[in-house]
Amino acid sequence: MRHSRRTTITTSDIDQALRVLNIEPLYGHFPHNPPTFRRAPPYPQTQSSGVVYFVEDEEIDFERVIREEKITLPKGVRWTAHWLAVEGVQPLIPENPPAIPKESDVDMNGIKSGTSRQNGYLTPASERSSPMQNGKMQQASDQTKTALSRELQLYLNRLTSSLLPPSTSDYSKRDAALGSLQHDAGLQPLLPNLVSWVTTNVVRALKSGDESESNGRELDVLLSVIGAVLANKTLFVEPYLHQFLPAILSTLLHSSLPPSQAAHLRTTASQTLSHLLTQHSTTYPSLSPRIMKTLLLALVSAGKSKGTREGAIRGLMGIGKEAIRKGLVEGGGAKVVGSECAPGERGTLIDASLAAFQMLYPPSPYPSPLNPTDEMDAVTINQIQEGFGVFFTGYLAQDGQWARGILMGDQES
């Protein structure tokens, strides 16, 4: 007030003085909105007290307050993070704009809006798919494939033409294509289209039921493509594991593969499955148990072909020793396989089973057969029959050290 050369003090002077002294200012009175004071005359008993001025409080009617609609305070401004796009696909969340389905009622030939052309015939509008269904189908297609640049599209065309159909004489293009998939960087935008191409061709090859050599070579190339993609360290393949696994397991457990290449295809699929689980089982702990459950059902279920059971055994070999023990010993898979084989029979199914036993415990370089007349050997033979069945007892009893090693490992587990 003195610095302003005024004789009247204002509320702003008090606020500024309190601010200078670092004292919390007074709230409720501002210079631009002065309060209205009422004058209260003094009581007759206390004339000397003088006149009192006070601010009149507003009387609140509780009935009016109860009847009035409550106004909720809006939320304050805040910042949140959300995915704008994942692998080129926009997720359907409230923060992103909704996808608008595109549908034209009039086609290029000038047909009326009440009909549409499907397979060369006019279809009424009542039988056509709704815009909501078209939008869902378009969204599912967008999640599988993404738009590619001209360079990537040219690369994909040359890659697929070099891989399929497989050549029987010139392997240089195929080896170069697989090497590019395994080592080149910058192929992440191409991955959705490549995964869709692989899975589509695997389904087509297995669904045709053709057991020719060309069909087997095609499946071999497709499995090699999956292995090359998994081996490329620059690619993020975890979102596409659920598409790779059906292709691998279908090839592994299919019953009608080309006879000359069936063992090779199932071995390749088993190795690819093992590589996939080695890389991603730590990220997805439930992946190995789920796959092992599928293989166990294929191994012990009734009505399965020998090819399916062989694929299940090779798949368990790809998972590890514990899976072999649970499938062939604890799950009774060896007994099921032995019951379907004639005495002295030898084939790829028996070879796969013996290879699985060799993973449990290596055979002795100098095998010594078990002697049924010896008391200890007789006990060992009985234990083998209880765990592996009569059929495989004849193979395991020819090497006593091998049989005892498998049984000791079973007892330790």
Instruction: Pick the range with the lowest mean pLDDT from 60-69, 267-276, 308-317.
Output: 60-69
Q: Domains along the chain?
A: 11-57 (no CATH), 151-365 (1.25.40.770)
Contact 52, 42 (CB under 8 A): yes
Local confidence band at 178 (pLDDT 50, 70, 90 cut-offs): very high
Please tell me the distance from the alpha carbon of residue 91 to that of residue 94, in angstroms, as a whole number.
Answer: 9
Residue type at 195 in one-letter notation: V
Average pLDDT, integer, range 352-381: 90
Average pLDDT, integer, range 42-52: 71
Task: Look at the alpha carbons of 198, 199, 204, 210 in this order and tell me if their dihedral is positive or negative.
Answer: positive
Q: What are phi and psi of 33, to 5 degrees?
A: -135, 75
Task: Look at the alpha carbons of 28, 29, 32, 38 in this order and tell me if their dihedral is positive or negative.
Answer: positive
Contact 357, 399 (CB under 8 A): no
Q: Kindly state the tokens that stand for 12.
A: 């702003």
Long-range contacts at 81-87 (CB < 8 A, ≥ 24 apart): 86/239, 87/146, 87/191, 87/192, 87/239
pLDDT at residue 226 tops 80: yes
- Of 366, 257, 399, 367, give the one whose Cα is nearest residue 314: 257
Cα angle value 178/183/187 (rounded, 5°): 85
Write down the pTM of the prediction: 0.64
Contact 245, 204 (CB under 8 A): no
pLDDT at residue 111 tops 50: no
Local confidence band at 195 (pLDDT 50, 70, 90 cut-offs): very high
Per-residue pLDDT reduced to its tens digit, 113-160: 444 444 333 344 444 444 445 554 444 444 445 577 888 899 999 999
Local confidence band at 307 (pLDDT 50, 70, 90 cut-offs): very high
